[in-house]
Every structure is written in C-alpha cells, then in structure tokens.
Amino acid sequence: GEDVEQSLFLSVREGDSSVINCTYTDSSSTYLYWYKQEPGAGLQLLTYIFSNMDMKQDQRLTVLLNKKDKHLSLRIADTQTGDSAIYFCAVTRGSSNTGKLIFGQGTTLQVKP
Amino acid sequence: NAGVTQTPKFQVLKTGQSMTLQCAQDMNHEYMSWYRQDPGMGLRLIHYSVGAGITDQGEVPNGYNVSRSTTEDFPLRLLSAAPSQTSVYFCASSKVGATPSTDTQYFGPGTRLTVL
C-alpha cells in the first residue's frame, strides 16, 4: 500500500544546515507537504510543493523533489535552536487534495547550541 | 478566528469506558478529519468528513464513531475504550478549494488520551 518513510532522528549544530529526507511510494501524489510539530503542540504547515516542481525555496527552507526516485527533502539553512521539533513529511493520496494525507513517522530534529 | 479547537487536552479512561473527544472549527471548512499519533508511526487517519451529514472511514476506524451534524463540529466517540487506543488525537480541517494553497490542513492542539 501507500507508504511514506522518514529517518527518525537528526542532530545538528546551531548555524549548520539540516537536511531531512522522505521517500514515498504513491507516484500519483500531487501535493507534498512538510509539517512541523513543536513539543505539546499540533502540526503546523511549513511548506508544500506541487509534484510538477523540482524545487521550492521559502526563506531558510528549501524543498527538493525527485519525482523519479520518489524522494522529498527539506533543507533548513542556518538552523537555530528554535527549529528543534518533529518534522513530518506528508503526501496526498493520489491526485486528490481533499485532506487525505499519508504521513511519515516524523523526524526529530535536535539542534545543539 | 480561534482556528481548530479540541477538548479535553488530557483524559484518562478505564478500559470499557466511553467518551467523546470534541473538535470545532470556526473557519467554515468543509473538510474535517481525525488522526491518531503514536510514537514512530506518524499520523494515521481515523475518520473524515467532507461536509455536514457526510462521514467516511480512514485507515484505522475500528473502535471509533463520528458524526457531522454541523459544519463547525466533528466529535469523535470511543464506544468502549481499550489500552490500544492510548494515543494523541488530532483534529484537522481544511477548505476544499480549487487551488492547493487553500486546501492546507489546519490542526488542533491535540488530546492526549490514556486508557488504563
């Protein structure tokens, strides 16, 4: 069935770049998202990318999509301690964007001062 | 706007008890959904609704019921709680629109449920 995989943990030093990776199986997914979850809070949408794009940049965030390999990544430049959180990759089920998302397990980003 | 609100924030139940998790949104969103979050498993869709009077099952619907009598509210009912339902529950809503930028989901703060 449809699946989204992420590594569970990433540790970086403050000021470094962080790269969080995600792979997915549904080649028909049209929209791909990155969500951030801070401790004790709900999920907050960080950014999204359409499946017909290779890259999207939004301030410190860069999303790269390799549709052939079904690989999505989120790069955070100049990582700050406030970026410490769990990051979820999510893709739509097929071409629908009516809210049916498949989530990865989440990557815990630890930023060391 | 308050966004998506959930009550209670924390709940402890005994096996076999029933309860209702409340979810409300004030953004006039057609789409609402319930997820559960378990360690190392991401979020899994329990039930969803595309409008008042319409509900459907997600990935893990067993043991849960929902109803959607109004656009604003989407309660989740646990009929007979089991320890396997210990989890964090998130409600989300979105507007079903023509462009992806209007379809992003907004999440509530979550309800942490423990079933003993």
> Contacts by B24-27 with C-beta closer than 8 Å and gap 24+?
B24/B72, B24/B73, B24/B74, B25/B72, B25/B74, B25/B91, B25/B93, B25/B106, B26/B1, B26/B2, B26/B72, B27/B1, B27/B3, B27/B93, B27/B95, B27/B106
- Strands in chain A per DSSP E: 4-6, 9-13, 18-24, 31-37, 43-50, 55-58, 61-66, 71-76, 85-92, 101-103, 107-112
pLDDT of A112 > 80? The answer is yes
User: Using the 8-state DSSP alphabet, how is residue B41 labeled?
Assistant: S
Determine the distance in angstroms separating the CA of B57 from the nearest CA of chain A, rounded to an integer: 11
- The percentage of chain B sitting over the pLDDT mark of 90, rounded to a whole number, equals 76
d(CA B91, CA B105): 10
Select the more confidently predicted residue: B19 or B106. Answer: B19
pLDDT in tens, B67-82: 999 999 999 999 999 9
pLDDT in tens, B89-99: 999 998 875 45
- The percentage of chain A sitting over the pLDDT mark of 70, rounded to a whole number, equals 93
Q: How confident is the model at residue A63 (pLDDT cuts 50, 70, 90)?
A: very high
Averaged pLDDT, B32-36: 94
Select the more confidently predicted residue: A97 or B45. Answer: B45
CA proximity to B79, closest of B5, B8, B21, B6: B21
What is the residue-averaged pLDDT of chain A? 90
Determine the distance in angstroms separating the CA of B114 from the nearest CA of chain A, rounded to an integer: 15
Only one residue has tokens 């089920």, namely: A93
- At CB < 8 Å, which residues of chain A contact B? 4, 6, 8, 30-31, 33, 35, 40-45, 48, 50, 88, 90, 97-101, 103-106
d(CA A65, CA A47): 13
Select the more confidently predicted residue: B42 or B80. Answer: B80
